[in-house]
Structures are given as C-alpha cells and as structure tokens.
Structure 1
C-alpha cells in the first residue's frame, strides 16, 4: 500500500503534585523535541516523521517517557486534556506570544485554555489532502478529551468549540474550519489574504507591520483545523484534542490510511463514502452540520458515528476521555485538580503500554 510519512505533535499541560498548573521548563529542557508553547504550563511533544506505525509508537513513547521522568524529578505531572478544565490565564512567555495577546485582546483566552493534537502528513496532492482532512473534521469526536472549558461543561469537545468560536467574530476566519479548496493557488491566496487581515488588525492595536512580519509568517498566522505548511512541506491536521498517546497513534494511523488513498484514488463530492476506487466527500454545508454535532455530542450522535463509519473508521476502537469526565455543569478548582492528576496517571500508564499494541500495524506496513 502507498504510504506517507506521518508525524505527531501532542500538547500537554504541566501541573504540580497538587494538580495546579505550573511552569514546564524542566520538561522542555529534557529533550530537543519537547518545546514550549506561548504560556508556561503548556508544552508540545513532537515525533520525527515515520512511515511505520511501529516506529511512530516507539518514537512517541520514547519522548514521552523522557518528558514524564523530567516532570517527576521536578515533582510535576503531565496532563493529556484538551482544556485545563478550569480557566488558565498565565502571561505569554515570549515576544511572539505577547504580540499575539495584544492583537487578539480578550479573544486570546481560548488560546490559553486549549491543548490539541497536530498530525503532519507528507504533502503529495495537496488539494485533495486539504479537502479530505477538511471532510475528516468530525473525526475529532474519536479523541475528544474535555467537556469543560473555564469550569463550565460546554460540549463533548469544549476545546474545539472554544478555540473556533470564543476568539471573537473578527478572528474566527483564523480559527474555524475553511471551505474546500478549488486549487492550491486559491488556498494560498486565502492564507495571504488572512495574513494581510491580521496585519490590519495588529495595526489597529498599535502593532506595526514590521513587527508582525518579523514574528509571523502567513502560514502560522492562520490557526485553522487544516493548514498547508510550506516550509516542511506537509499538510497539518489540527482538529483533535490533546489526549492519550495510544489514541493519538490510532487516529494518526487511521487518517493516514485515508490520506494515502487520496494520493492514488479520485476524491469526489456527494454522499460521504469510502469506496474501493474513490473517496466521496460531503458538500461543505452538510459537513459543517456533522462537525457541529461532533463537537457538541461526539460519538453519542448517531449522525457522527454513521458518518465516520461510512469513511472507514472503527468507532468502537476509540475511547474518548470526554465520556469519562462527565460531571456537574460547573466544576470547581479543587475538583479540576483531582481530575488533572487522575488523567496524569492515566497518561503515564498509557505511555508505558504504548508499544504493547505493536502487533496492530493496520495502517502502515512494517
């Protein structure tokens, strides 16, 4: 089977032994592929690109084991949740982050309270890849990991809801799902137009165009669920929450199978379906409805489950953490700390067992 190199970036919260969000410097310093985010309690763990599921598992396990050990030595833990459950409001820790705060204003709150999974696929037929990953947006339901945002139970994926909608109407074009692309040049034109818009918004807030150009490239100004990364070059899928690494690898594997198929089979539009000789994707308005249901209800929505099964996902193979975190409409800080520590323990056990699933190379050949 045709395969693409695939890499994973997983964001994680850092907490102390009492479950409070804290600085993750010691963890970042432990490995070159553990990087800071723009607030101190959030870090990102990266793999190299791989063509086998076994290698992806082993790489992710190795880096996470290093991260967990470094955290333990500093009396800290790592938490695989899409949000910190209650609100986090630490200051930005770098110049780029501080400019981002200035431009977004109150809308920066969602960026500070969301942790995601980013999966990079080797770029081949970029237009088909961009459109397929757009159509796979409802697959975020397979790994939703937090129903709470700022202490309020909001949706099956509270992260996706907040990240896409809470930044304010003038910024939603930078965070929400984009329509399908007609061509690569048309997609790039969109990115360039959003970059110019970002510079205008920055200027309105007293940030010069020179500063924006020094700190932001067009491709990292847009924060949408699907991005074209020119510098790597990859197509990046950013729809899923941060979650347990076993679920991340399973999802990366399942989605890679579809993205690889798009390199050899035609991608068409109509009733969504995976066929032997083609991939059929829904019209965009129909997709938006399924995505909304995926964010709100996850796999509890029959529409979402049916949609994902039509595209070849075994939904029963997934165990979204959101379903384990159901509770009262409002969650206090004490309860949030307890839940963070519980999920930190689950992360540690999951990492330990990550390579025990090496016999299921359902996606990539060895």
Structure 2
C-alpha cells in the first residue's frame, strides 16, 4: 500500500511572531500556501517504504527551511499557534469560505494538522478502520494551548470538533461508520447541499460555491474519501515533528493494509488472522475524547492502541513537552514557537538514518 503525507507549518519571524509565509511555496513545487498567510503545507508523493518517504520529506523540508532562513522566518510544527491568530483568508476560495462562515471559522485559522493519504483499495473497510483509529491522534499531540489558554492535549482537535454552531460542526466532527461507499457519498452530497444553504443565508450564491468547491472538498472531517486522487485520507492528528509523523503514518499503514485480506467488524478492538475488530461508535467516541483531552496519559487509549498493534512508548508527543502556565502571554507563546522551530530543525537533520535498518521497512 502506498501512502503520502501533508503537513501544515506555522511561519514566524525571528521574534517568534506569526508572519506571512507566502514566499516559501516558490522554493519547491511540493510546498503550498494555505488558508491563511502564516500557514504553509508540505506534501509528499505516495511511497511504499518508510525510507523513501523520509528521504523525500527531508529534502522538501530542507529546501523549506533554507527558504525560510533567507526570509528571516522559521517553521513551527505545532497544532495551534498557542495564542490567537486572526489573519484574513487568502485566495478566492478562502475568502469565499470566510464570507460563508464569518467568525465561526476561528478554529480553521488557529489549527495546523497532518493528513495521511492511503491508497484506496477496500474503501468501506478503510473508512471504518480509519474512523476507529481516531484515538491514534494521541501519539502526536503537539499543542495543549488554544487562544492562549491550556485546554486539551490536542487543543486543535478539540477546537475543530467542539463547535458552537451545527452549521460548521457537521463538517469537522467524526462521522459514524459507513455501510457502503454510496451511503458515504450520500452523506457528503447531503452535507454539500446544506453547505450551499448556509452560503445562501449569508448572501453567497450557489453558483459561486460550485465554482470554488466540490462536495468532498467541503468536508474537513477526520476521515475523507477522495475520489480524484484516489485515496482514503486520515486528517485526525496535529502537525508534529516529521519523524513522529512518518512513524505514525507507517504504523497506521501496517494496520490499514490488512483491510485487503481481513474483514472489519464491530466487536471491541484488536486484530486476529481473519478480522480487525473495532469498537462501537459510542465507545470509540469515548476513546477519542480521552485521546484529545488526556493524550497518552489515558490508560484506556494506550491499551486500545496496543491492541491494534501500536507501541505508544515509541512516541514522545510535543504537547507533553510544552510546560507553561494555564494562560499564556504573547511573549511566552513566541518563545514556545521558537523552541518548536529549533526542535523541527534538529528533527529534519536526523530524519534519515542510513545506518538504521528499520527505516527501510515497508508499510506492512
């Protein structure tokens, strides 16, 4: 099974202040601008081995870091900017999205995540298993702060999913298991029609929406079925240190690949020779809430992930290293961003270890 990753990074200046990073995409065709100017996205091509993905990601990030340094900037691998970010959206699509939701998209401007694209083989099984793997986000939680306050171990996921308005929340939360691809697509199409209704109520015509959005692009949910790619996309985790992100992607891949030969059924949690068992959706929601609020401090989350083949002790989430007050000052946030930027540079330098035989292991 091939997989690729997308990682979003904040751009800050020498003092750690959020700043415009839109010059960086000029440095490499796999660096893209994001919804707001202080965010950029790095995208890899699909890979079958961990070693080859690490090498490409290291190459792209070295180019990005060099370009950032030439602009007096740093890249920051945190799930939130710690304190509030409120820049205007960039691009026609972003500005239209802002017109539709207004102040209700605060979370979209204050969150940076990782997306893992898995080659689509058994889409229903993959959709349901990736949904059930939502608690694995705890392995790379990277920011306990949101809008300047210590909130949850993954404050990004909490902010995205705990929306005050159902008009936005339906596009960000975890969806229940699917019975078929057609049923999943019906959900997406229904949500898109509702999205156009929200747009119309805010003075945006359906023609403008359809020009800039398609149904699947409207979804910001933790799991998406991408017909154009074609992939099944897992969007649950924070952005984090690249080495941790790659490890997680391929640990995920070794579970997801088993859907080619094993059924996926509701019955608990675990893997045997014929079947991957996942919990009821209600039990899964409880595990996901614990992963977001407690991270790897939750024994239930650690036990669940272990049953599915993960080794939680192999991970060292950044969120656990960000020690600070319950309310963060602007100066403290700037220092934390610069610390995270330094950790990123060190991580990129060691992303590929030619003496490590484990780095060349396949996805399964």
Band of TM-score, shorter chain: over 0.9
Contact 1:83/1:159 (<8 A) preserved: yes
C-alpha distance in 1 between matches for 2:302 and 2:201: 44
TM-score, L = length of structure 1: 0.97
**Structure 1 residues 72 and 289 mapped into 2: Cα distance closer, same or farther (>3 Å)?**
same
**Aligned residue number for residue 294 of structure 1:** 291
Report 1:144-293 matches (<5 A). Answer: 144-166=141-163, 168-293=165-290
Deviations 1:156-191 (A, max 9, x none): 000000011236222111000000000000000000
Mapped partners of 2:6, 2:206: distance in 1 = 30
C-alpha contact 1:10 1:46 (8 A) present in aligned 2: yes
Q: Does 2:58 align with 1:61? A: yes
Secondary structure of 1:114's counterpart equals coil
Q: CA deviation at 1:362?
A: 7.5
User: What do residues 321-344 of structure 1 show as CA deviations (whole Å, max 9, x unaligned)?
Assistant: 000013211001100000000000
* Aligned residues of 2:141 and 2:238 also touching (Cα < 8 A): yes
Q: Distance in 2 between matches of 1:163 and 1:348?
A: 28
- Tell me the distance in 1 between the aligned counterparts of 2:106 and 2:353: 38
| Matched-pair contact (CA < 8 Å) for 1:132–1:281 | yes
For residues 30 and 159 of structure 2, what CA distance do their matches in structure 1 show?
Answer: 28
Which of 1, 20, 23 does residue 23 from structure 1 map onto?
20
Q: What secondary structure does 1:206 align onto?
A: coil
1:359 aligns with 2:357: yes
In 1, Cα distance between equivalents of 2:145 and 2:360: 33
> How far is the alpha carbon of 1:139 from its aligned partner?
0.3
Any conservation in 1 of the 2:136–2:305 contact (CA below 8 Å)? yes
**Matched position secondary structure for 1:247:** helix
Deviation readout 1:245-296 (Å, 9 max, x if unpaired): 0000000010000110111111111011122322100010000000001000
Whether 1:36 and 2:22 are equivalent positions in the alignment is no
State the distance in 1 between where 2:310 and 2:180 align: 28
What do the CA deviations read for 1:294-348 (whole angstroms, capped 9, x no partner)? 0000000111111111111000000000000132110011000000000000000
- Deviation, 1:365, is 6.4
Q: Is the 2:49–2:360 Cα contact (8 Å) retained in structure 1? A: no
Stretches of structure 1 lacking an aligned partner (at least 5 in a row): none
Provide runs of 4+ in structure 1 moved above 6 Å. none
| Aligned partner of residue 174 in structure 2, secondary structure | coil
> Distance between the aligned counterparts of 2:235 and 2:361, measured in 1?
20
Runs of 5+ consecutive residues of structure 2 not aligned to the other structure: none
Rounded to whole Å, the distance in 1 between the matches of 2:327 and 2:285 is: 28
Distance 1:72 1:359 in 2: 32
One of 299, 303, 313 as aligned partner of 1:316? 313
Preserved contact between residue 157 and residue 322 of structure 1 (Cα < 8 Å) = yes
CA RMSD of aligned residues (A): 1.2
Alignment of 1:319-358 (within 5 A): 319-356=316-353, 358=356
